[in-house]
Amino acid sequence: MKTALKMVLWAALTALLHQVASAQDTIVLISGKIIISKSVEIKDYSVNYHDTKKGKFHSMEKYRIFSVLGADGKEQVLYTKDPYDSLDFTPEQMRLFIKGEQDADRFFHGTANKAVSFAIGVPSSLLAIYGLLVPPLYSTVIGSFSPNMQKATVSDPALRNVPEYSEGYQRKVREKKIRNSLLYGLAGFAAGFVVFNMVVN
C-alpha cells in the first residue's frame, strides 16, 4: 500500500515539475530569432526576461520584438505599424516577413559561397595588408544578389509569391551571404598568409 502511494505521489510530482519546466514564454524578434524565456515583463519601451538558455536576466528594446507567446498559448503582439509611413508593414505582413527570414535561416546554407570566399581569400594574402580589402569587397558584391524565389527551398511553396515573405527570405539570405563570405574570406586570407610565409621561410 505504501509503495503504491509513493508511486502515485512520485508520478504527481513528476507531472508538476514537467508542467513548471514547460511553462515558458517565447519571444519572437523582428529579425526572426526566437528566444525561449521565463518571467517576461513588458514595459513601455523595453521587455525584461529571463533567458532559459543562458540563465540570465536581460532587457531588450521593445521595437526589436514582434510578439510574446505565453506559456498558456496566448500571443501578445508588440509590433505596431507606423501610422506616418504608408510603406510600413501591418502586423500580419510583418508576420509573413518574419516567416521568410526564419525559412531562409533554416534552409539556406550557402556552402558554395563559403568555399568560393575561402578560395578567394587565400591568394589575396599575397597582397599583404592590401589583401584584407578583398574579402569585404567580395562580400559586398555577392550580398547584392537576391536568390530566385522560384528555386529557393521553402516550407510552403505557396508562400513564394507572397511579397512580404519573399522580402524577408531574400533579406536574410543576403545577410547570411555577406556575413559568411566575409568570415570565410578572412579565414582564407589568414590561412594563405600562414602557408605562404612558411613557404618563403
- Residue 191, class by beta-carbon neighbours within 10 Å (0-12 exposed, 13-18 middle, 19+ buried)? middle
Judge whether 27 lies within some domain: yes
Work out the angle at residue 31's Cα, subtended by the Cα atoms of residues 30 and 37, and round it to the nearest 5 degrees: 75
Residue 8: its H or E element: helix 2-22
Is 169 in the same domain as 129?
yes
Q: What's the pLDDT tens digit per position in 62-95?
A: 999 999 999 888 999 999 999 899 889 999 999 9
Is there a contact between 137 and 166 (Cβ–Cβ < 8 Å)? no
Judge whether 82 lies within some domain: no
Is there a contact between 176 and 117 (Cβ–Cβ < 8 Å)? no
Q: What's the pLDDT tens digit per position in 91-128?
A: 999 999 999 999 999 999 999 999 999 999 999 999 98
Domain that holds residue 28: 21-77
Judge whether 135 lies within some domain: yes
- The pTM score is 0.82
Is 55 in the same domain as 134?
no
Taking each helix axis from N to C terminus, what angle separates 134-142 and 111-124, rounded to the nearest 10 degrees?
150
